[in-house]
Chain A
Amino acid sequence: MTNTYLRRHAPFWISILAGIAIWEIAGRSTSAAFMVPFSETLVRLWQLIRSGEFIGQFLDSAQLFLTGFVLALVIGAPLGLLLARVRFLRIGIEPYIMILYATPMVALIPFILSMMGFGFAPKVLVVFLFAVFPVLYNTVEGARSIKPELIEVAKSYRSSERALWAEVMLPYTLPYIMTGVRQSIGRALVGMIAAEFFLSSTGLGQLIMTASQNFDTGGVFASVFVIGLIGVGLMRVGLKIEQHFAHWRQ
């Protein structure tokens, strides 16, 4: 058991250790203002955690992320399903969703800033805008992939509208919705940091900004490192969710 575990995961750990070693050596052989070795990054991170600064900012960011993301999900998915049932609307709105999906939403941040100012709401709006279109786009895509025969059969058996949704629409679009969820987790994270950078500075974004303004390279490395880890973790969660629902697709 331990043997197979080792054999399976040894390359992973070797590559992680090698990466840390390269980081450490590169950090030690350059100036401290330029790059900080891995060990010092950890020390700085520990200081930030112990002072309580890190936890507070982390919770701030988590609140922003979750509010925006959940809003995107509870608005995007039902709206997408509704569009799927109303053919005229779906055909009419699809190209616009595609356009918005491909538009870099960051470009709207300056407008949001000057219209809504510095509160919590404008930042939630940014996260929401980043996250909602992947959900919407994939939901509509999934609903479009439902074979018309399925709905026709359900109808010819006089299935009620409610049963049609529960038995046909939802099971068929759910895997697509989950693809949207995975994509929008990633985008919401980008939106969160962008909102914290360019609107009122709070959370992990503020942690980085303050460190960078104070030329505290260790602080920059520590916070970028942590946000990177959070990104990787969230990506994993997204993939797991998507895979869990993917077998429905067949």
Chain B
Amino acid sequence: MSDQTIGVSVSRAVAPKASPRAQWLLANAVPRIVVGVAILLLWEFVVRALAPAYVAKPSTVVMAIPRVITDPAFLSATGQTLLAVAEGLAVALVIGTVIGLVMGRSAMLERAIRHYVNGFYAVPMVVVLPLFSLWFGYSSATRIATIIFAAVFSIIINVADGARAVPREYLEVARSFRSNRLSVLVGIVLPSATPYLLAGFRLAAGRALIGAVVAEFFLSVGGVGYYILYNSRIYKHSEAFVGVLLLAAFGVGFELLVQWVTRRFMPWYRRGDKS
């Protein structure tokens, strides 16, 4: 505001400092918006020029959004998928944390099951679907099982890493106060492995989402994945693409949530991903 009374050269030096927020916006938001708009325009015109009319393009997808999100079929599909992912993740979280804690603190158990955990983690999860459908039938039980299978091993691996990395002094203090093994695990190892647990959970959430969609494709069980499959089969690509947007929002949402929780509650913690 006082720029005019001070000399021009001074105001140039002062202005950016006065509003770092505006500067940040200019440096980041502008390129993001420009690139985003460019991508959307490119997509729109390429599809218009080259592809048949049913292929999804930004304009038709945007027009489909209000129709789709008020469609009861879509809402119930969203609910089913979300519920299945939440249930599967909850089970995987409990099992994974317990096994991971014990595995990280017991050398015996670690040696016994490490190869299996790493091995199952490396198995592409799609491959278990025919097997699981043999065991649990073409039902939502198979979907839950697939989600758990997709999610549990990354939690085990990360929690075990965390349990192994507990500072030795903590354990020695606990031992000199004669605390028993269980309270050491719950009271010391678990809290100190929480950042690892979160990192594992973040990975697990992404994998669980993939597991749910793949299972719905394979089993034709109702959910967002099946909604996408069905609508794209009857050439309603724009409607189906709204489902993809929803899945992307889930994926990014989980990512941001875990990042935020880590920053908010464990600001001292920085760690590379283990995936």
| Residues of A in contact with B (beta carbons under 8 Å apart) | 11-12, 14-16, 18-19, 33-34, 88-89, 91-93, 95-96, 98-100, 102-104, 106-111, 113-115, 183, 186, 189-190, 192-194, 197-198, 208-209, 211-212, 217, 220-221, 224, 227-228, 231-232, 234-235
Q: Binary interface profile of B, 55-88, with partner A (CB < 8 Å = 1, else 0)? A: 1100000000000000000000000000000000
Among the listed B28, B122, B237, which residue makes an inter-chain contact with A234, where contact means beta carbons less than 8 Å apart?
A: B122
**Given A15-B112, A15-B115, A189-B124, are A102 and B206 neighbors across the interface (CB < 8 Å)?**
yes
What 6 A-B pairs come out closest when comparing CB atoms?
A92-B35, A92-B31, A102-B251, A212-B130, A110-B232, A11-B111
The distance from the CB of B210 to the nearest CB of chain A, in whole angstroms, is 4
Cα distance A88–B252 in the bound complex, in angstroms = 23
Complex contacts, A232 vs chain B, CB 8 Å: 118-119, 122-123
Chain B's interface size range is: 35 or more
Cα distance A111–B241 in the bound complex, in angstroms = 9
In the complex, which residue of chain B has the Cβ closest to the Cβ of A208? B130
Cα distance A189–B129 in the bound complex, in angstroms = 15
Complex contacts, B124 vs chain A, CB 8 Å: 186, 189-190, 192-193, 227, 231
The distance from the CB of A121 to the nearest CB of chain B, in whole angstroms, is 15
Q: Are B217 and A198 in touch, CB under 8 angstroms?
A: yes
Q: Contacting chain A: which of B9-17, B90-98, B131-139, B170-178?
A: B131-139
The distance from the CB of B29 to the nearest CB of chain A, in whole angstroms, is 9
Q: Contacting chain A: which of B186-194, B242-250, B263-271?
A: B242-250
Complex contacts, A110 vs chain B, CB 8 Å: 217, 228-229, 232-233, 240
Complex contacts, A113 vs chain B, CB 8 Å: 232
In the complex, which residue of chain A has the Cβ closest to the Cβ of B128? A224
Residues of B103-155 at the interface with A, using a CB-CB cut-off of 8 Å, are 111-116, 118-131, 133-135
Among the listed B116, B118, B218, B255, which residue makes an inter-chain contact with A197, where contact means beta carbons less than 8 Å apart?
A: B218
Among the listed B39, B206, B224, B244, which residue makes an inter-chain contact with A108, where contact means beta carbons less than 8 Å apart?
A: B244
Complex contacts, B36 vs chain A, CB 8 Å: 92, 96
Q: Are A193 and B126 in touch, CB under 8 angstroms?
A: yes
Q: Are A99 and B248 in touch, CB under 8 angstroms?
A: yes
The distance from the CB of A10 to the nearest CB of chain B, in whole angstroms, is 9
